[in-house]
């Protein structure tokens, strides 16, 4: 019988616990979370978008698998999934043109709807946008707003129903090994012996890997989101709109509220309210692109960490050096939307199943060496 400890009750840690447990009744599974509740890390600080990715084949495959699972959410969790299919429009300038043309072709090849919108037609999708320097828009009609807290709660509830033990308010402080095998983890409450540890610690994953000498090539960047009210009604409906080059975006939230997001600040801590230090950058980008959205009144906001790898793919699976250690981290800006895939890939490694239909070896840490 395996004894499995998952470090982190973010959306990935809980998806992992649930997906292992649904095909494995003989192992003991424990989740350790330093906060008093789930989802207090990056998972509770997101822009809440479920998208079909672009960029590369592996990412699109993560999306295809995850999207299907989300569409089956009601059968799986006996609960209706909140989905607001508003679509996602990327505004592409000359510098981004080649990349987005390649990604558009790749999406179509893999069966993902992707529509090129000529500059002159962008106004039919969104109003009050400066398109002077924009070559074309790329529209993903399937992309949706979701509620990450709903998904986190569903994973947590089902995991507990499958006898997963979740220990809140307990912090992992070390991993114990004999250099070849995992022996346990140390927490602020004592030693837990186990033969498998899964590092799903989000922004802390790099530090946790270092306890075993595992180097995770992850860069932590801070992104900020602001909830605003504007006198202009032009931004109250339509798709989520992003400036592809600077990754500034807005999304209508209903009730005349708009969410604005941006940020690639390195090695800074998250803020629980709106990040006022980054506000001048947001105002500058907003005034340039969404010409009537500013002035706005800030009514809320938050900032959080996106843990990015160089190839923008997560790090999922075992490592060669130490048996029983698994990574599930480096999810960047896509850990919510790809949570079904992340948990399933780890479950496949541990349970020797093949539920993830694509090549899971592409996410191994050894791709960097
Ligand atoms: C502003 C912003 C917008 C985003 N928008 C989107 C979006 O629209 N769609 C999308 O899919 N993704 C989005 N993301 C990315 C997404 O939020 C992350 O990829 C995802 O939340 C990562 O989940 P996780 O479970 O790996 O990490 P986390 O949610 O950070 O979970 C890690 C958990 O580990 C715990 N932990 C850490 N160290 C320890 C320890 N030593 N002991 C015990 N517990 C520990 C933490 O407390 C935390 O709960 C966004 C991110 C940001 C910041």
Mutation test residue for ligand 1: of 32, 47, 339, the one with most atoms within 8 Å of CB:
47
What is the residue with the minimal CA distance to atom 52 of ligand 1? 46
pTM recorded for the entire structure: 0.98
Q: Is 45 in the pocket of ligand 1 (CB under 6 A)?
A: yes
* Residue range 178-203: mean pLDDT, rounded: 98
- Gyration radius from the chain CA atoms: 21
What is the residue with the minimal CA distance to atom 45 of ligand 1? 8
| 12: its two tokens | 């990935």
pLDDT tens-digit profile of 100-118?
999 999 999 999 999 999 9
Cα-to-centroid distance, 196 and ligand 1 (Å): 22
The four Cα atoms 223, 228, 233, 235 give a dihedral, to 10 degrees, of 10
On whether the CB atoms of residues 270 and 45 are closer than 8 A, the answer is: yes
| 345: its two tokens | 């890939």
Atom of ligand 1 nearest to the CA of 43: 21
On whether the CB atoms of residues 368 and 312 are closer than 8 A, the answer is: no
Cα-to-centroid distance, 315 and ligand 1 (Å): 14
Q: How would residue 353 be classed by pLDDT, with cut points 50, 70 and 90?
A: very high
Atom of ligand 1 nearest to the CA of 222: 53
| 325: its two tokens | 């250690």
Positive or negative, the CA dihedral 19, 25, 26, 32 is positive
* Residue 172: pLDDT over 90: yes
pLDDT at 267: 86
- Is residue 208 reached through a cis peptide bond, with omega within 30 degrees of 0 on the bond before it? no
Q: CA 27 to CA 95: how far, in whole Å?
A: 51
What is the residue with the minimal CA distance to atom 14 of ligand 1? 333
* Residue 82: pLDDT over 90: yes
pLDDT at 232: 96
Cα-to-centroid distance, 304 and ligand 1 (Å): 8
Cα-to-centroid distance, 122 and ligand 1 (Å): 33
| 37: its two tokens | 């509740």
On whether the CB atoms of residues 32 and 13 are closer than 8 A, the answer is: no
pLDDT at 320: 95
pLDDT tens-digit profile of 23-65?
999 999 999 999 999 999 999 999 999 999 889 999 999 999 9
Residue 287 phi, psi (nearest 5): -60, -35
pLDDT at 246: 98
pLDDT at 369: 87
- Please give the C-alpha separations between residue 81 and each of 49, 74, 84, 93, 271, in angstroms, as whole numbers: 13, 6, 10, 35, 28
Q: Is 33 in the pocket of ligand 1 (CB under 6 A)?
A: yes
Positive or negative, the CA dihedral 13, 15, 16, 17 is positive
Cα-to-centroid distance, 340 and ligand 1 (Å): 14
Q: Is 334 in the pocket of ligand 1 (CB under 6 A)?
A: yes
pLDDT at 53: 85
pLDDT tens-digit profile of 360-369?
999 999 999 8
* Residue range 126-141: mean pLDDT, rounded: 98
Atom of ligand 1 nearest to the CA of 200: 26
Cα-to-centroid distance, 9 and ligand 1 (Å): 9
Q: What contacts 133, CB < 8 A, 6 or more positions away?
A: 93, 94
Q: CA 125 to CA 194: how far, in whole Å?
A: 53
Q: Is 202 in the pocket of ligand 1 (CB under 6 A)?
A: yes
| 258: its two tokens | 């708009």
pLDDT at 148: 98
Atom of ligand 1 nearest to the CA of 224: 1
Q: What contacts 45, CB < 8 A, 6 or more positions away?
A: 225, 270, 302, 303, 304
Query: Across the chain, what does the average pLDDT equal?
Result: 97
* Residue 359: pLDDT over 90: yes
* Residue range 171-182: mean pLDDT, rounded: 98
39: alpha, beta or left? (left if phi > 0; alpha if psi -120 to 50): left
* Residue 126: pLDDT over 90: yes
What is the residue with the minimal CA distance to atom 20 of ligand 1? 335
pLDDT tens-digit profile of 251-307?
999 989 999 999 999 989 999 999 999 999 999 999 999 999 999 999 999 999 999
Q: CA 307 to CA 28: how far, in whole Å?
A: 29
Q: Is 314 in the pocket of ligand 1 (CB under 6 A)?
A: no
Q: Is 32 in the pocket of ligand 1 (CB under 6 A)?
A: yes
pLDDT at 129: 98
* Residue range 123-133: mean pLDDT, rounded: 97
Cα-to-centroid distance, 305 and ligand 1 (Å): 7
* Residue 197: pLDDT over 90: yes
Q: Is 12 in the pocket of ligand 1 (CB under 6 A)?
A: yes
Beta-strand relationship, 196-199 and 3-7: parallel
Mutation test residue for ligand 1: of 7, 8, 170, the one with most atoms within 8 Å of CB:
8
């Amino acid at each position: 019988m395996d004894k499995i400890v998952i470090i982190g009750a973010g959306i990935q840690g809980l998806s992992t616990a649930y997906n292992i447990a649904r095909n494995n009744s003989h192992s003991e599974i424990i989740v350790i979370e330093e906060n008093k509740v789930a989802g207090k890390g990056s998972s509770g600080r997101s822009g809440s978008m479920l998208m079909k990715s672009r960029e590369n084949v592996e990412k699109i495959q993560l999306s295809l698998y995850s999207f299907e699972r989300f569409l089956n959410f009601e059968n799986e969790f006996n609960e209706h999934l909140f989905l607001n299919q508003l679509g996602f429009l990327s505004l592409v300038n000359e510098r981004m043109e080649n990349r987005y043309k390649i990604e558009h072709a790749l999406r179509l090849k893999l069966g993902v709807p992707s529509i090129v919108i000529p500059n002159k037609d962008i106004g039919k999708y969104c109003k009050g946008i400066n398109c002077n320097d924009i070559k074309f828009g790329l529209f993903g009609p399937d992309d949706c707003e979701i509620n990450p807290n709903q998904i986190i709660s569903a994973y947590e509830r089902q995991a507990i129903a499958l006898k997963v033990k979740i220990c809140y308010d307990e912090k992992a402080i070390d991993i114990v090994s004999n250099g070849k095998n995992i022996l346990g983890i140390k927490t602020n409450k004592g030693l837990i012996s186990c033969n498998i540890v899964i590092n799903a610690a989000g922004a802390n994953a790099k530090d946790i890997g270092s306890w075993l000498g595992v180097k995770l090539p992850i860069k932590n960047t801070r992104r900020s989101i602001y909830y605003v009210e504007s006198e202009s009604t032009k931004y109250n409906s339509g798709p989520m709109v992003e400036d592809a080059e600077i990754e500034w975006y807005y999304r209508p939230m209903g009730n005349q509220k708009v969410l604005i997001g941006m940020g690639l600040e390195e090695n800074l801590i998250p803020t629980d309210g709106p990040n006022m230090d980054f506000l001048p950058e947001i105002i500058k980008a907003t005034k340039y692109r969404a010409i009537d959205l500013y002035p706005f009144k800030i009514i809320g906001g938050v900032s959080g960490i996106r843990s990015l790898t160089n190839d923008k793919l997560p790090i999922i699976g075992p490592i060669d050096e130490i048996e029983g250690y698994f990574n599930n981290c480096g999810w960047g800006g896509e850990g919510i939307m790809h949570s079904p895939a992340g948990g399933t890939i780890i479950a496949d490694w541990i349970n020797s199943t093949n539920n993830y239909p694509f090549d899971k070896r592409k996410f191994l840490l050894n791709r960097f060496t």
